Structure 1
Amino acid sequence: MEETRTFADFGIHADIVAALEAHKITHPFPIQAMTLPVALDGHDIIGQAKTGTGKTLGFGIPILQRVTSPTDEGFATLEGAGKPQALAVAPTRELAVQVAQDLTRAAAGRGIRILTVYGGRAYEPQIDALNAGIEVVVGTPGRLIDLAEKGHLSLAHCRIAVLDEADEMLDLGFLPDVEKLLNMTPAGRQTMLFSATMPGAVVALARSYMTQPTHIRAISEDDSGQTVAAVEQFVFRAHAMDKVEMLARIMQARGRGLSIVFTRTKRTAAKVADELADRGFAAAAIHGDLGQGAREQALRAFRNGKVDILVATDVAARGIDVEAVTHVVNFQCPEDEKTYLHRIGRTGRAGATGVAVTFVDWDDLHRWVQINKALDLGIPDPEETYSSSPHLFSQLDIPEGTTGSLPRSSRTRAGLGAEHVEDIEGKPAGRPQGGQGGRGQRKTGNRPASGGANKGEGAPRAAKPRTERTTTTDGKVRRRRRRGGAANSGKTAAES
């Protein structure tokens, strides 16, 4: 970090500097200090830095500096006033939300309108905001394209385009969508591309859509490897049946703050979160099977400290930027070195230190060997470890005598239930999310009264006793009609 220089020394708008100072952000990190002079002049940039080193403000400040605010002189005569002047594309909903939050915080005094768009939310509020006027739009490729193709989002006046975590968008198959979005923007725009790694397809994308970009690599002198030096890494060969017990003890280490536990599967994430909750921990799960409302509820509870353990699949590794995450645990060995980097990058962020623990099953040893070799970690053969192993307690500073359950005196957090579930789909008030619960209960409740007569598959079973008591065809038809009506739905064959 360049302690001798502040953001004010870069000629940044006074309102932006004041907004950052209000959050005690005054000195730029290396990627920011290297990026700002080039980006503020409008040049294209390829920014490469490790996750957690401050890339968002590296492109966010130039966006807010160069965008014309409704409070700026000349906005009324600006061509395309009220249409997005800047576009930031992110691979996941969580990352899009985080980027928009960082931009909103820095733009507090500028009057710049920032909109986040992504799937899983109702279209109407996003469309209304676009119609009212937006200067900066941040979103995921799918929803951005949907809004653009339906005529609600115009990128014709977008002077700045940013691709955040470009390597992840490539991995998730978003490259065609990204190219489609860039083709909707003016040819003379400023393009900034940020990525932790730089695979060939990302370089090809840069060559096709950028003009003489400046390639900026921010690597500190004391950080020679690919992982952030501030993260202390531990790797244990663990038995599948003992993992939760080990995890419960690690979660009681001295100095542990907010923690993220990563799993490879959605089912494991849900199971581990439930088991931790049964042991007294304030834990919540986030994975792809959860609705957007439940995912955001878990993230808010985590950010607000109502839960201090988030159990997540890798979808959460791309976009969770929460301060004070002290521990990351790989409950299941990552698939490859890139996944490993993104997971452990959730701690040790912005100058802080952190602890990363990885459990390696016997079946995953070959996978870990490849990760260790690719990152040159020097841990080719993890030590066999159990929940009772002395070295587990000593290396992770776990108090002696710690068991697999959190003492009742330590159960002080409010828990997931204390965080409300936002109605993000625009459902009427009072209806369960998704609208299924209430209707399903009513339908189930009507079945005994109707005897299935309103359903074709239930009619033969209910019709048999009535046919035996009916002497004419006309009587049978009339009885069916009476039983189908509201007034006669409770009438039985014996009453007629």
Structure 2
Amino acid sequence: MTFSELNIDQDMVDALATKGILEPFPIQTQTIPMGLAGQDIIGQAKTGTGKTLGFGLPVLQSLGTDPEPGVKALIVVPTRELCVQVAEDLVLAASNRSTKIAAIYGGKAYEGQVEQIKAGAQVIVGTPGRLLDLASQRMLSLKDIKVMVLDEADKMLDLGFLADIEKLFAQTPPTRHTMLFSATMPGPIVALARRFMNKPIHIRATDPDEGLTQKNIKHIVYRAHNLDKDEVIARILQAEGRGKTVVFTRTKRAAAKLVEELNDRGFNAAAVHGDLNQEQRERAMAAFKAGKKDILIATDVAARGIDVSDVTHVINHTIPDDHDTYLHRAGRTGRAGKTGVAVTFVDWADMLKWTHINKALDMGIPEPTETYSSSPHLFSELDIPEGTKGRLPGSHAPAVRAAAPASAGGRGASAGGRGRDPQRSGDSSSRPPRDRSRSTGSDSGANGDTGSVSRARASDEKVRPEGGGTHDGGAPSRRKRTRRRRGGNDGSPSAPLSA
């Protein structure tokens, strides 16, 4: 079967051929003919099986080779990364026709997106929040929509976008052609389809004998200690045949820490997480797709927006929260019919969570193998050369920075102690020498004005030093001690501090 045999216009067939896309996938062969006929569709298939072109080609063909300016098709997606990815795929398919596609999503300035709409974009790919923002400001009109698509509908449900989707539906004509695509089909999504779709046909492009996980992905699960995970990951990244790799973390902080650690070990990694602005996220994704970075550290914000066909490994640094998230993370590899490896680390505290995931996906791995960076089975199962260490040759060993002597005037401590208090690890050689003659043993810099403390103790006054360890002792503490000395413990007046 070819795209031409599915009655796709030749200009789009030629455009896809330039990227080596010659034969449709099962979900495409089933949905494209119905989409071209204007049939409402609920398309269900595993992630990475080609759903985008399954709805994208019928949408573009329904508008013609030279459509009139104005928004005629709306494709709603849950995340910014997926918005960019879908828009890029449609731009490729429409590269030989005059159709204009605009990506509308948050995190970027309104002006450029509004300009694309005013310039006559016929196809809008957008996230719900930004679409509603522009519609409420009357910068985007949906009254002429002919085709509307919901992509990754289950993720919309997870992110709480269902109410926004209903508002978008309400602004489109009831006669529109509607298509809904998702990897899973929870009850609220089915209810949404029944409410807003006209006699939809439910298409499942899956093998009845195949489980929920893809056969072309090798799933490996290890019980690993949190302190050893970075070393294990660094060794996996040196496996034979390892290509582009996505490492998922649970938190933004863990992603930022891991990308720094891997780069320090000599690897070429980039990060995508919520603490980065949209420009930084797009730059990291572009570098990953172009091969400038071969490791992407990501939170689940990117789990559905990474459509890169040559990802060979997915590593779950921390276990996902549920089986659906696991499927979407693992689905970043093994795309477009290729094979891949998904490695998951399970902490001792996360065993209950893994039990639920294992049962839901029927993976048959109730007890993950206890694994360390030195475990022989780690090397054999993942094709890691014997003797591989977790640091590439030529990268700086941690001891180079951390073992600087104290006599180095504080420079060594500052260089090797990333994340320490700069006041503690700063260059003490730049400060003038202090008179320590009043101190009775403690460092006056670390414990406030200990000279005053020792004098207070000499007069049997029980005074605690103020601001210990903060380098901000001095006048405020001395005034406080003076006030406390105005009356002795027995009610009699005390001598002034200078006595």
TM-score (norm. length: structure 2): 0.78
Aligned to 1:360: 346
Show the 5 A alignment for 1:339-358: 339-358=325-344
**Residues 1:52 and 2:48 aligned together:** yes
Aligned to 2:12: 16
Q: Secondary structure at the match of 1:246?
A: helix
Q: CA deviation at 1:132?
A: 1.3
Aligned to 1:128: 115
Show the 5 A alignment for 1:65-144: 65-69=61-65, 71=66, 81-144=68-131
Letter in 2 for 1:50: K
CA-to-partner distance for each residue in 1:400-450, whole Å, 9 max, x for gaps?
Answer: 1100102249xxxxxxxxxxxxxxxxxxxxxxxxxxxxxxxxxxxxxxxxx
Q: Secondary structure at the match of 2:335?
A: coil
Q: CA deviation at 1:12?
A: 1.2
Cα pair 2:16 2:92 within 8 Å, conserved: yes
Q: Secondary structure at the match of 1:273?
A: helix
**Residues 1:310 and 2:296 aligned together:** yes
Aligned to 2:246: 260
Cα pair 1:61 1:106 within 8 Å, conserved: yes
Tell me the distance in 2 between the aligned counterparts of 1:10 and 1:260: 34
CA-to-partner distance for each residue in 1:345-388, whole Å, 9 max, x for gaps?
Answer: 00000100000000001001111011001100000000100000
Aligned to 1:440: none
Cα pair 2:309 2:334 within 8 Å, conserved: no
Cα pair 2:55 2:149 within 8 Å, conserved: yes
Aligned to 1:199: 186
Aligned to 1:228: 214
Q: CA deviation at 1:250?
A: 0.3
Q: CA deviation at 1:115?
A: 0.3
Q: CA deviation at 1:24?
A: 1.4
Q: CA deviation at 1:128?
A: 1.2
Tell me the distance in 2 between the aligned counterparts of 1:366 and 1:334: 12
Tell me the distance in 2 between the aligned counterparts of 1:304 and 1:22: 17
Show the 5 A alignment for 1:136-175: 136-175=123-162
Show the 5 A alignment for 1:273-312: 273-312=259-298
Larger Rg: 2
Aligned to 2:36: 40
| C-alpha RMSD of the superposition | 1.0
Among residues 8, 13, 21, which one is paired with 1:25 in the alignment?
A: 21
Q: CA deviation at 1:68?
A: 3.4
Tell me the distance in 2 between the aligned counterparts of 1:33 and 1:318: 22
Cα pair 1:273 1:285 within 8 Å, conserved: yes
Letter in 1 for 2:109: A
Letter in 1 for 2:171: M
**Residues 1:395 and 2:381 aligned together:** yes
Q: CA deviation at 1:144?
A: 0.6
Aligned to 2:317: 331
Cα pair 1:44 1:212 within 8 Å, conserved: yes
Aligned to 1:189: 176
Tell me the distance in 2 between the aligned counterparts of 1:24 and 1:303: 16
CA-to-partner distance for each residue in 1:30-83, whole Å, 9 max, x for gaps?
Answer: 0000001111000100000000000000000000100134x3xxx5xxxxx421
Tell me the distance in 1 between the aligned counterparts of 2:86 and 2:271: 22
Tell me the distance in 1 between the aligned counterparts of 2:157 and 2:144: 26
Letter in 1 for 2:343: V
Q: CA deviation at 1:108?
A: 0.7
Q: CA deviation at 1:309?
A: 0.7
Q: CA deviation at 1:23?
A: 1.4
Q: CA deviation at 1:110?
A: 1.5
Aligned to 1:454: none
Letter in 2 for 1:11: N
Tell me the distance in 2 between the aligned counterparts of 1:305 and 1:20: 21
Identity %: 62
**Structure 2 runs not aligned, ≥5 long:** 396-499
Cα pair 1:52 1:346 within 8 Å, conserved: yes
Q: Secondary structure at the match of 2:336?
A: coil
**Residues 1:238 and 2:228 aligned together:** no
Among residues 346, 369, 374, which one is paired with 2:360 in the alignment?
A: 374
CA-to-partner distance for each residue in 1:230-268, whole Å, 9 max, x for gaps?
Answer: 100000000111000000000000000000000101110
Q: Secondary structure at the match of 1:51?
A: coil
Q: Secondary structure at the match of 1:341?
A: helix
Q: Secondary structure at the match of 1:46?
A: strand
Cα pair 2:234 2:390 within 8 Å, conserved: yes
Letter in 2 for 1:132: A
Tell me the distance in 2 between the aligned counterparts of 1:323 and 1:268: 26
Total equivalences in the alignment: 395
Tell me the distance in 2 between the aligned counterparts of 1:84 and 1:184: 13
Q: Secondary structure at the match of 1:374?
A: helix
TM-score (norm. length: structure 1): 0.79
Q: CA deviation at 1:304?
A: 1.0
Answer with 316-325 or 340-349: which moved more. Answer: 316-325
Tell me the distance in 2 between the aligned counterparts of 1:208 and 1:191: 12
Q: CA deviation at 1:220?
A: 2.8
Tell me the distance in 1 between the aligned counterparts of 2:394 and 2:20: 36
Tell me the distance in 1 between the aligned counterparts of 2:321 and 2:58: 36
Q: CA deviation at 1:177?
A: 0.6
Cα pair 1:83 1:155 within 8 Å, conserved: no
Q: Secondary structure at the match of 1:350?
A: helix
Which structure has the higher relative contact order (CA within 8 Å, separation 6+)?
1
Letter in 1 for 2:183: A
CA-to-partner distance for each residue in 1:441-460, whole Å, 9 max, x for gaps?
Answer: xxxxxxxxxxxxxxxxxxxx
Tell me the distance in 2 between the aligned counterparts of 1:229 and 1:101: 28
Tell me the distance in 2 between the aligned counterparts of 1:11 and 1:316: 34
